[in-house]
Amino acid sequence: MSEIRFPLPDVGEGLTEAEIVQWRVSPGDHVVLDQVFVEIETAKSLVELPSAYEGTVTELLVDEGRTVDVGTPILVIQTDAASGMSSDGSAPTTAAEPAPQAAAPAPGSDGEGGGAVLVGHGSSGPARSRRQRHPAPGGAHEHLAPPPPPPAPPAPAAPMAAAPSEAPAVAAEAKRQPERTDDGVPVIAKPPIRKLAKDLGVDLSRVTPTGPIGDITRDDVIREASQASVFRNIQTPELPTDRETRIPVKGVRKAIAQTMVQSAYSAPHVSVFVDVDATRTMEFVKRLKASPDFAGVKVSPLLIMAKAMIWAARRNPTVNAQWTDEEIIVKHYVNLGVAAATPRGLIVPNVKEAQSMSMVELATALEQLTLTAREGKTQPAEMQGGTITITNIGVFGMDTGTPILNTGEVAIVALGTIRQKPWVVDGEVRPRYVTTIGGSFDHRVVDGDVASRFLADVAAIIEEPALLLD
C-alpha cells in the first residue's frame, strides 16, 4: 500500500491557478485510471481532470469553490500493488492480474479509446468502440422495430367493432403513426434534426417546417429555440429580497476583465464601419442549404462572413498580424476566432488553419465550435493562437458596435443583423437585405488605409459572394 498526494496539474496552457468547481468522488470511493474525479475552472474554461492512479480516495484536501495554485495537493489516493500506477507515477514492477474495474471503460470516457488522458500519463488501454444501435422512435429506422406481439384471443365484439383479424394490423398501424402537430399534420424530421431538437429542448410539433417536402430543417429548430429563449427572457422576474448581490470576480469573468483592460488600454483602437447590400449573400446561403454537399451541415451568413475575412486577410496581410515591442509578426495562416457568448461569459475559440478549409469543412468547424462553446466544453487549447476574430452581434438584433480586440491580435470584425431595408438600386428604392459591418484595428500595426481596404474587401464578398470563386 502507498499513499499518493495528487497535485493540481498544469492542464497544458501554462495556467497558474484554478478553482475546484465540483468533486466527482468522495472519501472511500475507489477510482480507476482515467476516471474523471474533479471538475476545475481555469481562467479559460471548465476542465475535467482524469485520475493518473488507481486506488481508494482517502481525503479531499481542497473544498469546492476554493482557488488554488498549480502544484497544490488536492486529494489523497491510497494505491495497492494491483493499481495501474505506482507511487512515483510509473508502472508497477510486480506482476499481478489487472483489477476487475480496468476491464470496463473508465467513467467519463467516450468509449472510443481510453477516455481523457492527463498530460504525461497514458490511458488504461483500448476500450470497446462498438455500441448497440437503438432505432429512434419516429425516425428512419422504424422498420427495424420488433414485430408486434401476437394478438390476444378475440373477445365478444360489440356491433360495428373491427374484426379480430384486423386488430393486430390496427395496433401495428397505430404504433407506426408519427407524431403530429396540433392540426394533425405529421412531423417530418431526420434523426439528426430530432436529436438537435432534443438537445435544445424544442418540441417538434410546434416547429413550422420550411423544408422542400414539408420537413423540419436545422434552421427551423434553431429559430424555434431562439424564439423560445426570447419569450423566456421577456418575463420580468421579481426583485430579490436582498438589497445587493455580490458576485466574486474569478475564473472566466476575471480573465475577461483582465484581457479587456489590457487590450483597451495597451492597443490604440480605431474603428470603421460600412453598410452592405447582403441580398446576394442571403440568396447564396439559400442555395447552399439546398445543396446535397451541405446536407446535415448548418449554413448561415456567418459562414460567408468567415470566408470573406479569410479572403480579405490574404489581400491585406497586416490585419492578420501580432504586435510586439520589437517587431510586427505577420501570420501567413488564419486561426479564425469566433466570439461566443456562453452562460459562463465571453470566450473566443478559434478554427485552426481556416485558410486551408473548403466551404463545407469551414461550415462544419464553425458549427462544432459553436456547439462545444454552448455546452461549456471548450478546452484552453482551442482558445490559444488566434490570429483574427469575428463577432456576430447580429444574432442579438444589433446593427453594429465597436468590438475590443482580442489580446495578441490587431483586427476584429463585427457582423450586424441582416434585415430588409430600403436601398437604392439603379436609381430606384427597393427592399434589400442590408447589414452593417464594423471593424476595430490596432493602429500601431494597421493604418487607416489598410483598415478601410480590408473592410471594403469583406463588404465586397458579402455583396457578391461569387468573388470567392476567383
Catalytic residues: 443
Which amino acid, residue 304?
A: I
Give the CA dihedral 39, 44, 45, 48, nearest 10 degrees: -40
Kindly tell me the burial class for residue 7, based on how many C-beta atoms sit within 10 Å of its own C-beta (0-12, 13-18, 19 or more): middle
**CA quadruple 134, 137, 140, 145: dihedral sign:** positive
* CA–CA gap between residue 442 and residue 408 (Å, rounded): 10
Residues in the chain, total: 470
Instruction: Give the list of residues 6+ apart from residue 455 with CB closer than 8 angstroms, or none.
Output: 272, 273, 274, 312, 413, 437, 439
Which three cell numbers, joined as nine digits, stand for 309? 475575412
Which three cell numbers, joined as nine digits, stand for 297? 451541415
Instruction: Give the burial string for 318-357 (b: 16+ CB within 10 Å, else e).
Output: bbbbbbeeeeeeebeebbbbbbbeeebeebbbbbbebbeb
Instruction: Give the list of residues 6+ apart from residue 19 with CB closer than 8 angstroms, or none.
Output: 40, 41, 42, 65, 66, 67, 68, 250, 251
For residue 361, what is the enclosing H or E element? helix 359-374
Which three cell numbers, joined as nine digits, stand for 177? 403513426
Among all chains, which residue has been given the C-alpha cell 418575463? 235
Q: Which of 403, 378, 385 is nearest to 252 (CA)?
A: 378
Distance (Å) of CA 160 to CA 154, 156, 163, 170: 15, 12, 9, 15
Which three cell numbers, joined as nine digits, stand for 269? 483602437
